[in-house]
Homo-oligomer: A and B are copies of this chain.
Amino acid sequence: MYEIGVVYRNVQRTEARVADALGALGSATTHEALGRVGVMKPYLRPIYPGTGVSGTAVTVLLQPGDNWMLHVAAEQIQPGDIVVAAVTADSTDGFFGDLLATSFKARGARALVIDGGCRDVKTLTEMGFPVWSRAVSARGTVKATLGSVNVPVVCAGVLVHPGDVIVADDDGVVCVPRSLAAAALAAAEKREQKEKEKREKLASGVLGLDMYEMREPLAAAGLRYVDR
């Protein structure tokens, strides 16, 4: 996090199969499987609804109001990557627009997650290049100060290492550390299977109180029922 002016090349990425499978399960299920950690702050929102992606992180550390390092990052993108951009101070400027998106897409990037602003959202929507950002702003940036590429960054409150898995959808963005990704996937798949069964029971009118056997612990905790 403290290195400025460095680009790490050839970082090791989580296996594509694992990253893809976590994306299919979604951010909420993945985060639960991780032990209820790894969710970026909810001010990060998708620029258009209905999209879900996953991929491996190429990280970027930006200076506020300066998008120079996004151009540097483009060269480090491999197919299946998601670029994750942190900023050294809070900024809502439009760091990213349709030109960079064209370049990122040509390199194989699947999405951008940025703890700053984004612009050209209409064109990005038409291009189908999804972005999760903290703001949308027409205000552009300069190219004057160095940051870094592929160093660990803190994005929207979560530490991201290059090569970690990023899962992003309408519910937000989750980061799964590379070393935990396979285990998280196994846990998530188990969880998903159980949820399907529960959904059917609940749809048929069974109460969660009964299905989860909550009545006893609730009574033990002191819950009282009073008729009006």
- The residues of A with any CB-CB pair to B shorter than 8 Å are 1-2, 4-12, 26-28, 30-32, 34-39, 41-42, 45, 48-50, 52, 63-65, 68, 71-72, 74-75, 88-94, 97-100, 102-103, 105-107, 117, 119-122, 125, 135-140, 142-146, 150, 152, 154, 157-159, 169-174, 177, 180, 195, 198-199, 202-205, 207-209, 212, 214, 218, 221-228
Contacts and interface: CB of A to CB of B under 8 A. Distances in A.
A159 B88 CA distance: 12
A-B residue pairs, 10 tightest by C-beta:
A27-B138, A42-B137, A138-B171, A103-B202, A71-B208, A39-B139, A138-B172, A102-B202, A28-B138, A119-B171
A154 B157 contact: yes
7 contacts: A2-B180, A8-B227, A42-B139, A64-B65, A65-B89, A138-B171, A139-B172
A30 B139 CA distance: 10
B88 A90 contact: no
Contacts of A98: 199
Given A28-B138, A136-B42, A137-B42, A103 B207 contact: yes
A4 B93 CA distance: 18
Given A75-B207, A204-B106, A228-B9, A36 B139 contact: yes
